[in-house]
A and B are shown apart, each in its own frame.
Chain A
Amino acid sequence: SQTIHQWPATLVQPVGSPLSLECTVEGTSNPNLYWYRQAAGRGLQLLFYSVGIGQISSEVPQNLSASRPQDRQFILSSKKLLLSDSGFYLCAWGGGVKTQYFGPGTRLLVL
């Protein structure tokens, strides 16, 4: 069966510091991968998606970037965090069907 992992679960970072969040998927090959952000009590905002290694599409201009160095690895990064980058970051994968399956999320607090 497929599983998706995200780490860390929570992160507190100072403004201006770098960020690296990692997501890995097991049990599937060539998945579509997604990064979402969710503010408290709000809906899901798609940040990036990837249909293959090295292929990244960005949905909103922002202070973040994404990379896919391996088939089942998706990384969300920032060189300098802003206060507005705080939120709940969710990674998801999708296979041949259109359903997306989510990881446990990373709660990021930028102070």
Chain B
Amino acid sequence: GESVGLHLPTLSVQEGDNSIINCAYSNSASDYFIWYKQESGKGPQFIIDIRSNMDKRQGQRVTVLLNKTVKHLSLQIAATQPGDSAVYFCAENKDSNYQLIWGAGTKLIIKP
């Protein structure tokens, strides 16, 4: 995908503040979106998903917002903790295709 060769953008957040990580997706026909968290040296871990018939979904300390008008996806993490330090990837899927289209990733750094 196009994101493979890009260096990761970085977001620095104070511990205890809320974090907002943004993602612009590419295909208006995509109907399913996922956020993953990847800690250093580990495989990506599923955080939360959302279908295109929704505009908001909440999990434990995380909320995903979907704006189909501008093809924008965001992940909000409440009361950011040191353990939230990781790279966060968004991914989208279209129709019955079993491949995911991956975003470039955002590195989240927590300041003490």
Which residues of A are in contact with B by a Cβ distance under 8 Å? Answer: 32, 39, 41-46, 49, 51, 90, 92, 94, 98-105, 107
Expressed in whole angstroms, the Cα–Cα distance for A101 and B42 within the complex equals 12
Q: List 28 A-B contacts (CB under 8 A).
A: A41-B7, A41-B8, A42-B7, A42-B8, A42-B105, A43-B104, A44-B1, A44-B3, A44-B44, A45-B1, A45-B4, A46-B1, A46-B100, A49-B98, A49-B99, A51-B98, A90-B43, A94-B98, A98-B98, A99-B46, A100-B91, A102-B36, A102-B43, A104-B42, A104-B43, A105-B42, A105-B43, A107-B41
With A90-B44, A98-B32 given, is the CB distance from A32 to B98 under 8 Å?
A: yes
Q: Which residues of B contact A32 (CB under 8 A)?
A: 98
With A44-B1, A102-B43 already in contact, 4 other A-B pairs whose C-beta atoms are closer than 8 Å: A42-B7, A44-B4, A49-B98, A98-B93
With A32-B98, A49-B99, A99-B49 given, is the CB distance from A42 to B6 under 8 Å?
A: yes
User: Would A43 and B4 count as touching, CB distance under 8 A?
Assistant: yes
User: Would A100 and B5 count as touching, CB distance under 8 A?
Assistant: no
User: Would B49 and A43 count as touching, CB distance under 8 A?
Assistant: no
Q: Which residues of B contact A101 (CB under 8 A)?
A: 46
Which residues of B are in contact with A by a Cβ distance under 8 Å? Answer: 1, 3-8, 32, 34, 36, 41-46, 49, 89, 91, 93, 98-100, 102-105
Quick one: closest A residue to B43, CB to CB?
A102
Quick one: closest A residue to B97, CB to CB?
A98
Quick one: closest B residue to A46, CB to CB?
B99
User: Would B98 and A99 count as touching, CB distance under 8 A?
Assistant: no
Q: Which residues of B contact A103 (CB under 8 A)?
A: 43
User: Would B6 and A43 count as touching, CB distance under 8 A?
Assistant: yes
Expressed in whole angstroms, the Cα–Cα distance for A43 and B104 within the complex equals 5
